[in-house]
Amino acid sequence: MNVITSRRDFLKGSGALFIAIPLSSAAFAQTAAGAKTVDAAQVDAYLALHADGTATIYSGKVDLGTGLRAAFPQIAAEELGLPINRIHLIEGDTALTPDQGPTSGSNGIPKGGMQLRQAAATARQALIRMGAEKLGKPAAELDAIDGEIRPKAGGAGVSFASLIGEKGFELKLDGKAPVRDPKTFKYVGKHVPRPDVPAKVMGRHAFMHDLDVPGMVHGRVVRPAKINASLVSVDESSIAGIPGAQVVRIKNFLGVVAPDEWDAIRAARLLKATWSGGGLPVNHEGLAEHVRKGSKVSGTEMLDEKGDFTATFASGAKKFSAEFYWPVQSHASLGPSCAIADVKNGEATIWCSSQGTHRYRKHFADMLAIPSSKTRVYYVDGAGCYGMNGHEDAAADAAFLSQAIGKPVRVQWTREDEHGLDPKGPAQVITQDAALSDDGKILAWRTQMWCPKPTANLPTIPLLAPVEAGAKQTPGIATGSLSSGGKPPYDVPNLQVQVHWLEETPLRASHLRAPGKIGNCLAVETFMDELALAAGRDPIDFRLAYMSDPRGRESIERVAKLFNWDTRVAPRRDGKGRGIGYTQYKGDETYVAIAMEVEVDAGSGRIKVTRVAATHDCGQIISPDGVRSQVEGCILQTIGRTLFEEVKFDTNHVTSRDWASYPILTFPDVPEMKIELIDRPDQPPRGAGEAATAPVAAALANAVFDATGIRLRRVPFIAQRVKAAQAEMTTKNG
């Protein structure tokens, strides 16, 4: 593999723990008239060339540990024709970067990266035009190479700096500007080490949690034991003995601040407050039933329909039905959310790890009753989030506390806060019905899904503090696209895919990595295995018989080879098994096939994943190691989500508020992994941050069936459920 070392002083520079933080007056001066544009339609929003031959690129999308910090410079270096070690990247700062939407839905590269590519391609064309004039040669004979416009045939060139200096392009981004031919790529598709890894490994990377702002105090928010309870009274004397501790109360929002962090923690623990009301309509054990039958359905939507499902299902020779449940899960970020806010003199400066700093700038401004133009949000790396976790809540907490006391406030959520209060991936129920003809062909298939309906045009996910403080905020439910992936990726003649939209969901929802799609794929792909068995076919052969998309076929065929698939119809039922899961993410994006081997301990019911093989086709690959790293993370995290994870709650609040009650995958659970990336340089790049999660639960469940004859349809697949299913099967088989 061709290794390109990124800028040396990037590595060294990121070793500094303290990063320069502009104070708010300076910050706003920078945004004054004549300053850098952030208009996403302008080339200058994305990049600036400098007189010293370097360039700065500006991204509204941020690196959440996913490798975009390597990938964006690769894309820009390639298109501009500039050595990668001359490129700096600024991410997420609302005053300097264009609003490219939040970093979510695996769109960092497909959307953010491609906007950057077009901006750089537009810039290159402009530089070539300028170079043509200066060199007195036709533009067609010139190219941008190593920071110069040079004749393609060779000969002297002129530097970008001498052509444009610092003055900017003042050009509209041209979506049709020609981009480089993949055959000529120097950076894209090659290995570029991530610039942030050395400092992370040396303990010198400045995370959000590590920032200090001059004059900052520490804040903690005190929340009731029952969700949504109202604050009746506060006994401020309960923390009188703590030096400098101060109570902040705004309606139902209650917090403490203190100069010393440990004192703030003690104050939050000791503060006596009385609350009333609050609670939840259902506990986690009753939620599956509640989703399926107890929740109010606001409407049913037919997402896909082909042929005549009802008639063909009725006429089928063999009929199958199954119901699946995916539980509420938490982002369970390793570091509880943290933020700093400095709100005074009608200005707000907020440092946080939000995936959507631009979006939340307005949200923060509105809730604080400060104009957006006086609000600046900086992105600073946090602990990984996989959708929106508590980052923005911590920022809102800090902002209200800061506004109340007139000093910068740092809020560090606790582990209990993060597990208890982060917005959750909501529960789903999925049912499947299908019929086979008497010669074992799929006649009819119906998927039905029950999940909360996202509020139309909701600008941002509602935060806790504005509700408590009675401040301005648009209410609603955000979930990500939970109903995607319910359509089987196979050529089925008679099909219905419908979703029953629920009006509510008991805990605050947000998009959690691959929203809905892991559960939907579990339902579709384990059902496909049931049909294969009934049709007397091997699960892979059966899938290929219904698969016309050549890229899908290749993914499945290559994973079979990579895994050394054992072609067979009947399950082994000897405690060891293999399963397959396949998806084309969101129906038209990345292709993933995963084969998995499990061992199921008959005594304990414990499932161990021993071996995984995956093929992953996300079109053109920008950063191969970045993609591989994401695929590994998708697989491992989702094995944990499938085997162990369920948010537990009673009718007061979330009860799984630590790592003992909300276990995730640990090192002894890590299987042997083989991953094959299928690179298609001529295809558009698709996302890699989520796709490989989708088939994991399905492959795992199918492997458990092969090992035991048990169909697991309720996540998580904890040992007790396996034991219960084994007992039920023994009773049934007499």
Least distance CB 424 / another protein (angstroms): 15
User: Position of tokens 């009819």?
Assistant: 444
Indicate the residue among 276 and 659 with the shorter CB distance to another protein.
659
Closest CB 212 distance from another protein, rounded Å? 9
512: which strand partners?
387
Q: Which of 90, 670, 677, 729 binds another protein (CB under 8 A)?
A: 670
**Contact code string over 547-586 relative to another protein, x by CB under 8 A:** ----------------------------------------
Q: Which is nearer to another protein, 217 or 471 (CB)?
A: 217
> Would you list the DSSP string of 234-270?
EEGGGGTTSTT-EEEEETTEEEEEESSHHHHHHHHHH
Q: Which of 94, 412, 479, 620 binds another protein (CB under 8 A)?
A: 412
Looking at the Cβ atoms of 295 and 333, the one nearer to another protein is 333
Cα gap 503→428, rounded to integer Å = 13
Q: Report d(CA 579, CA 529) in Å as an integer.
A: 9
Does 668 help bind another protein (rule: CB under 8 A)?
yes
Least CB distance to another protein at residue 338 (A): 8
Helices (H) and strands (E) in the chain, counts: 20, 24
One of 147, 384, 423, 480 touching another protein (CB under 8 A): 384
Size of the site for another protein (CB under 8 A): 57
Question: Which residues pair with residue 379 across a beta bridge?
Answer: 352
Per-residue binder mask for another protein (CB under 8 A), 70-99, x = binder: ------------------------------
Residue from 625, 646, 690, 706 binding another protein (CB under 8 A): 625
Site for another protein in 193-212 (CB under 8 A): 193-194, 196-205, 207, 209-210
Residues 300-359 contacting another protein, CB under 8 A? 332-336
Return d(Cα 450, Cα 520) in angstroms, integer.
11
Among residues 451, 457, 448, the alpha carbon closest in space to that of 481 is found at 451
CB 717, min distance to another protein, A: 18
Whichever of 332 and 477 has its CB closer to another protein, that residue is 332
The nearer residue to another protein, 249 or 410, going by C-beta atoms, is 410
DSSP 274-315: EEE----SS-GGGHHHIIIIISPEEEEEEEEEES-HHHHHHH
- Only one residue has tokens 């089987």, namely 488
Question: Euclidean distance between the first and final Cα of the chain, in Å?
Answer: 58
Beta pairing class for 672-677 and 607-617? parallel
Provide the mask over 16-55, with x wherever binding to another protein is found by CB under 8 A and - wherever it is not: -x--------------------------------------
Query: Candidates 155-163, 554-562, 577-585, 662-670 — which segment interacts with another protein by CB under 8 A?
Result: 662-670
CB of 203 to another protein, least distance (A): 3
Told to check if 660 binds another protein by CB under 8 A, we report yes
Separation CA 43–CA 119 (nearest Å): 5
What is the footprint of another protein within residues 417-446 (CB under 8 A)?
none
Cis geometry, peptide bond prior to residue 716 (ω within 30 degrees of 0): yes
Among 381, 392, 422, 433, binds another protein (CB under 8 A): 381
Of 153, 184, 667, 730, the one binding another protein by CB under 8 A: 667
User: CB-wise, 156 or 201, nearer to another protein?
Assistant: 201
The DSSP secondary-structure symbol of 110 reads I
Q: Which residues are CB-neighbours of 216 under 8 A, at least 6 positions away? A: 340, 342, 407, 408, 409, 410
Query: CB 194 → another protein: shortest distance, Å?
Result: 6
CA angle 309, 311, 312 (to 5 degrees): 65
d(CA 38, CA 186): 29
Closest by CA to 559, choosing from 597, 598, 610, 615, is: 615
Piece of the chain touching another protein by CB under 8 A; list 43-51, 62-70, 137-145, 485-493 = 62-70
Q: Which residues pair with 221 in a beta bridge?
A: 255
Of 205 and 453, which CB lies nearer to another protein in the complex structure?
205
Q: Which helix (H) or strand (E) holds 594?
A: strand 591-600
Which residues of this chain interact with another protein, rule CB under 8 A? Answer: 11-12, 15, 17, 64-66, 193-194, 196-205, 207, 209-210, 260-262, 266, 332-336, 381-384, 386, 412, 414-415, 625, 629, 632-637, 658-660, 664-668, 670, 673
